[in-house]
Structure 1
Amino acid sequence: MTNSGRDALRAETDELGIATITIDRAEVMNAFDIATMEALAALVDEVGSDPVTTTIVITGAGPAFTTGADLQNHADSKATGDEATAIARRSMDAAGLLVRTIVRVPVPVIAAVNGPAAGVGVSIALASDFAVLSEDAYLFFAFSGLGLMPDGGATVLLAASIGRARANDVLFGAKMVSARDAAELGMIAETLPADEFAEGVAKRARRLARGPRNALRMTKVGVNAPLLAQLDAALELESDGQTELLTGPEFAEGVSALLGKRRPDFVSLR
Structure 2
Amino acid sequence: MKKILTSFLLMVMIVGCVQQGPTEAEKPEEPPVVEQPEKPVEQEKPEETKYVKKIDENKDWVIVEKTEVLDLYSTEEEKIFRKMLSDLVSTHSDDFTNWYNTIYTPNPEITLFSINIDSKDADTVNKYIKELYESKQTEVGHQYLSYKCFFNDSILSIVVKEGSFIPGSDWKGSKFVYNFDITNGNLISNTNLIDRYSLSIDDIKDKLLDFYASKGSTVSCDKAETEEEQNYCFTEPNHIKQDNLERYVLFVENNDLYFMGFLNNPLYFGNSIKIKIS
Q: What's the TM-score, normalizing by structure 2? A: 0.25
Larger radius of gyration: 2
Higher-RCO chain (CA-CA 8 Å, sequence separation at least 6): 1
| Structure with the higher fraction of residues in strand conformation | 2
Q: What's the TM-score, normalizing by structure 1? A: 0.25
| Structure with the higher fraction of residues in helix conformation | 1
